[in-house]
Structure 1
Amino acid sequence: MYAPERRQEILRLARAAGRVDVLALAEEFQVTAETVRRDLKALDRAGLVRRVHGGALPAGRLDFEPDLAEREGTAADQKDRIARAALAELPDGGSVILDAGSTVGRLAALIPLDLTLTVVTHALPVAARLAGHPGIELHLVGGRVRHRTRAAVDAWALRAYAEIRADVLFLAANGFAPGTGLTTPDPAEAAVKRAAVAAARRVVLLADSAKAGQEQFARFGELSEVDLLITDAGLDPAQQAAVRAAGTEVALA
């Protein structure tokens, strides 16, 4: 396959899937990763894709926010491992905030039935999973519910988080990096995340490695505000070192 044909196919895949990955493309086309990076660079110069860490997004989709069902199916194995590793951070008998996010939702589904917790969440899917848990005292934060994420936002949610102090926040983000901090596509959700960070003594970020280096529209915090990042082994050593240099512990699941 000639380079123009390959690039046309890469563009088609990016538009169909919403994202393409360098290593997956290299395997698909039986070329080196460096060849794929040159293809993506050419497409980026032409304004057809936007390069992000490890791959590219179709132009106009840098701040694209996938809906809940799509997020649940993305990087499922990595998210399962991260959620299982996060179980060790649950304070038996303590209080936690569970943010809106697919990996945090997986953690909620794994909480053992013999664990006693006070749980605060503004995420409807998380609340639905925990409503019948015998050991959990569940507090559901109200507000306007965003259809795309099923998360409560705006003034009611912000007031609720201003009135509590939890032991641990399990936080989600669409992008994280030492330079740009923690980001998400929607400003209303960013405000609630910021309030949740302020409401917790310890912050644990659950994020797969594909989110490293990504920057979304709404910024809600510094990486230095995160005590522990639980991610997968796809986070390369240089990125791990940069996160640790920001003062954040890193655990690979």
Structure 2
Amino acid sequence: MYAPERQQEILRLAGEAGRVDVLSLAERFQVTAETVRRDLTALDRAGLLRRVHGGALPVARTGFEPDLTARETTAATEKDRIAAAALAHLPAAGSVILDAGSTVARLAAGMSRLEGLGLTVVTHALPAAAGLADHPGVDLHLVGGRVRHRTRAAVDAWALRAYAEVRADVLFLATNGFTAEAGLTTPDLAEAAVKRAAIAAARRVVLLADSAKAGQERFARFGSFADVDLLITDTGLDPAHRAAIEAAGTEVVLA
């Protein structure tokens, strides 16, 4: 197990138990106590855990990852407007990748109501796939892998191999947090890896993210605004965030 994988597991354990201790972690991962202390120090410096004597405590704000149901009801009006605006950026023909995320799932729902589509759609997100599975104008390709229950997204090696074989016209991307400086972040390393692979598999990247995610940083970084051609967000985006993102070369549309 590599250090980032071990640290992600430490975060998960801390979130579930409310505390982790050095000796138990060393035994669990079959590493030295000093290795665990270095992991905890790195996570503490990143603001993801708080070191205490003999172990660490979770930092609730950063370590919390809401499930799909909670995400669907958060900023629902803004997400609906973003998804509606994103429909205008579908190619007339060709191929698109749909990332896992509640706003992208709304885009898929909007696509399911459109007639005259002639698109190849690739996705690792089960909700998006389910919404488009019966559409006669969609040639759907479902990317496989281990499905994370929290996000209903396929991750790990199978998904990464599939995206390595794809070159799509447009990727509609989701994120848990974004800043012009830190870029795009998500709580889970496995999801970050798939997002990174999807970015590499697309000629154009359209990020769908509500303004509440601006200024937020999560554990796993998967890209920067140099990777993003267009950000579609809502009118609540702070003008300073917008200016910094546009300065990085990304077009911003407010829905």
TM-score interval w.r.t. the shorter chain? Answer: 0.7 to 0.9
The match for 2:138 is 136
Cα separation, 1, equivalents of 2:162 and 2:211: 31
Matched length: 198
Q: 1:246 aligns with which of 204, 227, 248?
A: 248
Cα separation, 2, equivalents of 1:140 and 1:209: 29
Cα separation, 1, equivalents of 2:238 and 2:152: 32
Cα separation, 1, equivalents of 2:236 and 2:61: 23
Secondary structure of the equivalent of 2:62? coil
Q: How does 1:54-73 map to 2 (within 5 A)?
A: 59-73=59-73
The match for 2:223 is 221
Uncovered stretches (5+) of structure 2, i.e. residues with no partner: 1-57
The match for 1:89 is 89
Please, what TM-score do these two structures have when normalized by structure 1? 0.76
Q: How does 1:26-37 map to 2 (within 5 A)?
A: none
Secondary structure of the equivalent of 1:230? strand
Shift of 1:59: 4.6
Partner letter of residue 159 of structure 1? R
The match for 1:210 is 212
Shift of 1:60: 2.0
Secondary structure of the equivalent of 2:63? coil
Uncovered stretches (5+) of structure 1, i.e. residues with no partner: 1-57
Shift of 1:115: 1.4
The match for 1:190 is 192
Partner letter of residue 189 of structure 2? P
Cα separation, 2, equivalents of 1:116 and 1:105: 19
Cα separation, 2, equivalents of 1:178 and 1:167: 24
The match for 1:3 is none
| CA-to-aligned-CA distance 1:42-87 (integer Å, 9 cap, x gap) | xxxxxxxxxxxxxxxx952313110000000000000000000000
| CA-to-aligned-CA distance 1:138-167 (integer Å, 9 cap, x gap) | 000000000000000000000000001000
Cα separation, 1, equivalents of 2:68 and 2:115: 26
